[in-house]
Amino acid sequence: MNPNLKSNIEIGSFVAIVEKENQRSGELTEGYVKSILTKSKNHPHGIKVKLETGEVGRVKAFLVEE
């Protein structure tokens, strides 16, 4: 699934995001989507979300729980 499309992201999805301060290093943070912050239908750098733990960043990948 494409992380640049808002329609692919649902509340509760398990995702990997990159926070603003980690954009250069590319360090990813995993978590569950609490809210979707991007207003547009798509964004070239990924849809911005807030995780249940409070981190905010752009979705880079969808993850599968093990």
Residue spans of the domains in the chain: they are 6-62
For the chain, the average pLDDT equals 96
pTM here? 0.93
For position 22, what pLDDT does the model report? 96
Give me the amino acid identity at 2: N
Q: Is the pLDDT of residue 65 over 80?
A: no
Strands (E), 1-66: 14-19, 28-36, 48-51, 56-62
CATH number at 6-62: 2.30.30
